């Protein structure tokens, strides 16, 4: 990278940092800093602030309401947001279906959906997985049969995150059962209020309602709601998954967690000596730091390739694999640092500010949230393609084994 490019990106980083410092509301910053789950209202409020600034859709073209930042700029923006305790933006509309509609949607779809996503007026969820079709997603069975101007959809989707708070779902459905399984799939945009749709909550072990199962019984969806060509949905979905994996390296989130670990290690006393001064812990910390540096540089190499207009291939899987596994390693180190204070879990700690709780978590401020976040992070090595699947992709499609 040239010296002028480096200084341009440096100035951009400062601009982003200053904006967040001035505009991120203190209550929202505190929610994220303390490790609580933000409310939908908090995320929406932050998205509206970014929308007013014109920064809510970093990857979208300017003429469609985006910023058209380069991949390097987007990376800086995401990292600064994570380090400054901004709530993560809702990825379903802004990073997943929005870019897909931009790339493959009709003009009518762009005119209708994109402004609503930008203004946080409508929330989306993703209907890909089915019972029996997760890792082997192409085997999905939800069927869409053309009938006049509509498709009639029957089947079920599972593990759909946030459906209970969403307005619409983008769904992979089978439109041709008689061809190779990847070639008979289409992508539909479905209003969740359409008759024939029912939603069953799935309550997690952590007592939180995050997942759902959706049932489609003779649901009529206009053919005009199909994105792109019939039977090309698998190809379109893969395009978005590739972009998702670039983002799922979670370098900002990892850096934030590492910073927290260092702060805690400097405070926690084990056997009369600060943890940060003990060799065994320092060695672990250094190893995690080296892994994070390697991840960061690998990501930067991918970003430079993306900036040069090169297509990113299946090797991008290594970012998702390393980033999600590193977060879990840092979680285990945090647990070692706080010991048994990191084990209790109470759902209300995730939702209610500490000052308003009847009964506070035991131990230090940071220990109470540890179990909750540690369990939440377990999902990182499953969602968007499990670690085992990423390793298979790397061994087969990258290393040719
Ligand atoms: C936090 C979270 C959010 C999610 N949100 C959504 C959502 O919004 N919308 C949606 O559609 N889905 C969502 N999912 C579902 C997710 O995409 C699936 O869980 C994932 O694809 C794995 O599928 P599965 O659960 O059916 O597991 P399976 O595919 O049954 O896998 C079970 C185990 O077997 C392993 N395995 C499977 N195949 C192989 C193989 N060939 N070689 C080696 N090991 C293998 C897997 O790695 C895993 O450990 C979410 C999941 C999580 C955890």
| 214 lies in the same domain as 258 | no
Domain that holds residue 392: 248-398
Q: Which residues are catalytic?
A: 244
Q: What is the pLDDT of residue 245?
A: 66
Tell me, in angstroms, the distance from the centre of ligand 1 to residue 237's CA. 16
- Please say if the pLDDT value at position 18 is more than 70: yes
Share of the chain above pLDDT 90, in %: 75
| 272 lies in the same domain as 385 | yes
Q: For 312-348, write each residue's pLDDT tens digit.
A: 888 999 999 999 999 999 999 999 999 888 888 888 8
Residue identified by tokens 């080296």 is 290
- Please say if the pLDDT value at position 350 is more than 90: no
Q: Domain tally for the chain?
A: 3
Main-chain dihedrals φ then ψ at residue 381, nearest 5 degrees: -90, 10
Residues 6+ apart with CB under 8 A from 239: 100, 103
- Please say if the pLDDT value at position 243 is more than 70: no
d(CA 93, CA 91): 6
Phi-psi sector, 74: left (phi>0), alpha (psi -120 to 50), beta: alpha
Q: Best mutation site among 124, 129, 130, 393 for ligand 1, i.e. most ligand atoms within 8 A of its Cβ? A: 129
Q: Best mutation site among 134, 171, 185 for ligand 1, i.e. most ligand atoms within 8 A of its Cβ? A: 134
Q: What is the pLDDT of residue 236?
A: 93
Lining residues, ligand 1, CB within 6 Å: 125-129, 134-135, 159-161, 379, 382-383, 386, 388-389, 392
* Lookup: tokens for 322: 């390393």
Q: What is the pLDDT of residue 54?
A: 95
| 139 lies in the same domain as 261 | no
Q: For 137-191, write each residue's pLDDT tens digit.
A: 999 999 999 999 999 999 999 999 999 999 999 999 999 999 999 999 999 999 9
Q: Whose CA is nearest to atom 9 of ligand 1?
A: 160
Does some domain include residue 106? no
| 266 lies in the same domain as 385 | yes
Average pLDDT of the residues in 12-40: 93
Q: Whose CA is nearest to atom 38 of ligand 1?
A: 135
Q: What is the pLDDT of residue 36?
A: 84
Tell me, in angstroms, the distance from the centre of ligand 1 to residue 269's CA. 40
| 11 lies in the same domain as 129 | no
The enclosing domain of 12 has a CATH number of 1.10.540.10
- Please say if the pLDDT value at position 244 is more than 70: no
| 200 lies in the same domain as 270 | no
Q: For 212-239, write each residue's pLDDT tens digit.
A: 999 999 999 999 999 999 999 999 988 8
Lowest mean pLDDT among 34-43, 200-209, 257-266, 275-284: 34-43
Does some domain include residue 115? no
C-beta separation of 179 from 233 below 8 A: no
CA angle 388, 391, 396 (to 5 degrees): 125
- How confident is the prediction for the chain on average, in pLDDT? 93
Q: What distances in angstroms separate CA 152 from CA 130, 149, 214, 263, 392, one per listed residue?
A: 18, 10, 15, 56, 36
Residues 6+ apart with CB under 8 A from 73: 9, 12, 58
The enclosing domain of 322 has a CATH number of 1.20.140.10
| 40 lies in the same domain as 173 | no
Of 231, 265, 297, which marks where a domain is finished? Answer: 231
- Bridge partners (DSSP) listed for residue 152: 145, 220
Tell me, in angstroms, the distance from the centre of ligand 1 to residue 20's CA. 35
| 375 lies in the same domain as 254 | yes
| 292 lies in the same domain as 201 | no
Q: Whose CA is nearest to atom 7 of ligand 1?
A: 160
| 217 lies in the same domain as 296 | no
Average pLDDT of the residues in 376-387: 92
Tell me, in angstroms, the distance from the centre of ligand 1 to residue 127's CA. 13
| 305 lies in the same domain as 380 | yes
d(CA 59, CA 71): 8
| 73 lies in the same domain as 144 | no
- pLDDT tier at 242, thresholds 50, 70, 90: low
Tell me, in angstroms, the distance from the centre of ligand 1 to residue 389's CA. 9
Nearest atom of ligand 1 to the alpha carbon of 387: 47
Give this prediction's pTM: 0.93
Q: What is the pLDDT of residue 40?
A: 82
Other C-beta atoms lying within 10 Å of the C-beta of residue 218: 11
Does some domain include residue 51? yes
Tell me, in angstroms, the distance from the centre of ligand 1 to residue 70's CA. 31
Does some domain include residue 114? no
Q: Best mutation site among 127, 128, 132, 135 for ligand 1, i.e. most ligand atoms within 8 A of its Cβ? A: 135
Nearest atom of ligand 1 to the alpha carbon of 384: 17
Q: What contacts 24+ positions apart, CB below 8 Å, involve 7-15?
A: 9/72, 9/73, 9/76, 12/73, 12/76, 13/76, 13/80
Residues 6+ apart with CB under 8 A from 244: 91, 95, 96, 384
């Amino acid at each position: 990278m040239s010296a002028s490019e480096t200084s341009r990106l440096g100035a951009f980083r400062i601009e982003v940092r200053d904006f967040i410092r001035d505009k991120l509301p203190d209550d929202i910053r505190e929610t994220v800093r303390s490790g609580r789950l933000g409310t939908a209202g908090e995320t929406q409020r932050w998205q509206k602030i970014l929308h007013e600034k014109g920064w809510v859709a970093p990857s979208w073209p300017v003429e469609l309401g985006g910023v058209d930042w380069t991949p390097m700029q987007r990376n800086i923006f995401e990292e600064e947001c994570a380090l400054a305790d901004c709530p993560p933006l809702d990825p379903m509309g802004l990073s997943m279906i929005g870019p897909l509609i931009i790339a493959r949607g009709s003009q009518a779809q762009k005119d209708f959906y994109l402004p609503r996503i930008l203004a946080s007026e409508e929330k989306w969820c993703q209907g890909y997985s089915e019972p029996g079709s997760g890792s082997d997603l192409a085997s999905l069975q939800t069927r869409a049969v053309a009938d006049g101007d509509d498709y009639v959809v029957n089947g079920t989707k599972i593990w759909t995150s946030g459906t209970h708070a969403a307005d619409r779902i983008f769904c992979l459905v089978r439109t041709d059962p008689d061809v190779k399984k990847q070639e008979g799939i289409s992508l539909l945009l479905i209003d969740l209020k359409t008759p024939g749709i029912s939603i069953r909550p799935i309550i997690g072990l952590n007592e939180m309602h995050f997942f759902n199962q959706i049932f489609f019984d003779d649901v009529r969806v206009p053919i005009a709601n199909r994105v792109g060509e019939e039977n090309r949905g698998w190809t379109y979905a893969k395009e978005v998954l590739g972009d998702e994996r670039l983002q799922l390296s979670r370098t900002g989130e990892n850096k934030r967690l590492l910073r927290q670990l260092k702060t805690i290690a400097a405070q926690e006393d084990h056997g009369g000596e600060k943890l940060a001064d003990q060799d065994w812990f320092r060695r672990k910390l250094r190893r995690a730091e080296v892994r994070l540096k390697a991840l960061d540089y690998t990501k930067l190499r991918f970003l430079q390739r993306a900036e040069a207009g090169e297509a990113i291939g299946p090797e991008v899987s290594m970012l998702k694999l390393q980033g999600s596994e590193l977060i879990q390693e840092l979680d285990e180190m945090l647990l070692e640092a706080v010991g048994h204070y990191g084990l209790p879990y109470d759902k209300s700690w995730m939702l209610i500010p500490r000052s308003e709780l009847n009964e506070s978590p035991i131990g230090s401020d940071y220990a109470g949230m540890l179990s909750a976040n540690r369990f939440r992070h377990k999902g990182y090595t499953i969602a968007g393609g499990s670690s085992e699947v990423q390793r298979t992709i790397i061994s087969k499609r990258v290393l040719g084994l």
